[in-house]
Amino acid sequence: MAYSVSTQTPASRIAAIAGAVLILVLIALPFIAGRSTIRDMFFILTMLVLAQFWNLLAGYGGLVSIGQQAFVGAGAYALFGTVILWGVDPVPAILFCGIAALVIAVPTAFFAFRLNGAYFAIGTWVIAEVVRLLVSQWKTLGGGTGTSLPRDATGDMWFVGAIETALGVRTAAARDILAYWLALALALATIGGIYWLLRTRRGLALAAVRDNVEAAKSVGVDAGRMKWIVFLTSAFGTGLAGGLIYLQKARISPDAAFSVTDWTAYVIFIVVIGGIGTIEGPIVGVLVFFALQSLLADFGSWYLMTLGVLAIIIMLVAPRGLWGLLSARTGLHLFPIRRRLSGGTTEQRETP
Amino acid sequence: MNILSLQNVSKSFGALIVTDDASFDVSQGEALGIIGPNGAGKSTLFNLITGNLRADQGTITFEGRDVTRVSAMERCLTGIGRSFQIPQPFEKLTVYENLLVAATHGRNLSEAAVLADCADVLERTELIRRANTPAGQLSLLERKRLELARAMATQPKLLLLDEIAGGLTEGECQALIGTIRDIHARGVTIIWIEHVLHALTSVVERLLVLDFGRVIGLGDPEEIMASKEVQEIYLGIEV
A120 pLDDT tier (thresholds 50, 70, 90): very high
Angstrom distance (rounded) from CA B117 to CA A77:
52
User: What pLDDT, on a 0 to 100 scale, did the predictor assign at position B2?
Assistant: 92
Each residue's pLDDT tens digit, A159-194 = 888 888 888 888 888 999 999 999 999 999 999 999
Q: Once rounded to an integer, what is the mean pLDDT over residues B93-99?
A: 95
Give the pairing type, strands B206-211 and B214-219: antiparallel
CB contact under 8 A, B97 and A216: no
Q: Is A268 within a domain? A: yes
Complex-level ipTM beyond the 0.95 threshold: no
Q: Once rounded to an integer, what is the mean pLDDT over residues A77-101?
A: 94
Query: Which chain B residues are closer than 8 Å to A205 by Cβ?
Result: 101, 105
Q: Is A169 within a domain? A: yes
Q: Is B15 exposed, middle or buried (0-12, 13-18, 19+ CB in 10 A)?
A: exposed
Share of residues in chain B with pLDDT > 70 (%): 97
Domain that holds residue A217: 3-343
User: What pLDDT, on a 0 to 100 scale, did the predictor assign at position A338?
Assistant: 87
Nearest residue, CB atoms, B90 vs list A4, A208, A351: A208
Whether residue B237 has pLDDT greater than 60: no
User: What pLDDT, on a 0 to 100 scale, did the predictor assign at position A61?
Assistant: 87
Show contacts of A298-305: CB within 8 Å, 24+ apart: A304/A261
Q: Once rounded to an integer, what is the mean pLDDT over residues A107-131?
A: 93
Q: Once rounded to an integer, what is the mean pLDDT over residues B66-84?
A: 94
B224 pLDDT tier (thresholds 50, 70, 90): confident
Query: Which chain B residues are closer than 8 Å to A212 by Cβ?
Result: 88-91
Which of A5, A196, A218, A225 to mutate to probe the B interface, most B CBs <10 Å? A218
Q: Is A158 within a domain? A: yes
Q: Please give the residue of chain B at the shortest CA–CA distance from A4.
A: B115
Query: Which chain A residues are closer than 8 Å to B155 by Cβ?
Result: none
**Higher-confidence position of B72 and A300:** B72
Lowest average pLDDT, out of A42-51, A167-176, A219-228, A230-239, goes to: A167-176
Write phi, then psi, for B84 (nearest 5 degrees): -95, 150
Q: Once rounded to an integer, what is the mean pLDDT over residues A243-257?
A: 94
A351 pLDDT tier (thresholds 50, 70, 90): very low
Angstrom distance (rounded) from CA A232 to CA A42:
24
Q: Is B127 exposed, middle or buried (0-12, 13-18, 19+ CB in 10 A)?
A: buried
User: What pLDDT, on a 0 to 100 scale, did the predictor assign at position B239?
Assistant: 47
User: What pLDDT, on a 0 to 100 scale, did the predictor assign at position A1?
Assistant: 58
Sign, CA torsion B58/B64/B69/B75: negative
Q: Once rounded to an integer, what is the mean pLDDT over residues A208-215?
A: 90
B236 pLDDT tier (thresholds 50, 70, 90): low
Each residue's pLDDT tens digit, A269-327 = 999 999 999 999 999 999 999 999 988 878 888 888 888 899 899 989 988 899 999 98
Q: Once rounded to an integer, what is the mean pLDDT over residues A28-37?
A: 92
A196 min Cα distance to partner chain B (Å): 14
What is the CB neighbour count within 10 angstroms for residue A242?
A: 34
Write phi, then psi, for B175 (nearest 5 degrees): -65, -40
A240 min Cα distance to partner chain B (Å): 31
User: What pLDDT, on a 0 to 100 scale, did the predictor assign at position A97?
Assistant: 96
Whether residue B176 has pLDDT greater than 80: yes
User: What pLDDT, on a 0 to 100 scale, did the predictor assign at position B235?
Assistant: 63
A347 pLDDT tier (thresholds 50, 70, 90): low
Angstrom distance (rounded) from CA A189 to CA A237:
10
Write the DSSP assignment of B176-220 as a string of letters. HHHHHHHHHHTT-EEEEE-S-HHHHHTT-SEEEEEETTEEEEEE-
Q: Is A292 within a domain? A: yes
Write phi, then psi, for B79 (nearest 5 degrees): 120, 20
Q: What angle do CA A31, A33, A37 make, to 5 degrees?
A: 135
Q: Is A203 within a domain? A: yes
**What's the mean pLDDT when you consider all of chain B?**
91
CB contact under 8 A, A341 and B92: no
A282 min Cα distance to partner chain B (Å): 19
CB contact under 8 A, B89 and A211: yes
Whether residue A217 has pLDDT greater than 70: yes
Q: Once rounded to an integer, what is the mean pLDDT over residues A229-249?
A: 96
**Higher-confidence position of B19 and A301:** B19
Q: Is A351 within a domain? A: no
Strand partners, B211: B214
Q: Is A352 within a domain? A: no
Nearest residue, CB atoms, A218 vs list B50, B94, B129: B50
Q: Is A311 within a domain? A: yes
Total domain count for chain A? 1
Write the DSSP assignment of B12-51 as a string of letters. EETTEEEEEEEEEEEETT-EEEEE--TTSSHHHHHHHHHT
B22 pLDDT tier (thresholds 50, 70, 90): very high
Nearest residue, CB atoms, A220 vs list B90, B105, B137: B105
Lowest average pLDDT, out of A341-345, B36-40, B67-71, B87-91, goes to: A341-345
**What's the mean pLDDT when you consider all of chain A?**
91
Angstrom distance (rounded) from CA B148 to CA B116:
17
Cβ–Cβ < 8 Å for A53, A190: yes
We report the CATH number of the domain holding residue A195 as 1.10.3470
Q: Please give the residue of chain A at the shortest CA–CA distance from B160.
A: A218
CB contact under 8 A, B100 and A339: yes
Q: Once rounded to an integer, what is the mean pLDDT over residues A246-259?
A: 94
CB contact under 8 A, A205 and B94: no
CB contact under 8 A, B73 and A350: no
Query: Which chain B residues are closer than 8 Å to A5 by Cβ?
Result: 96, 111, 115
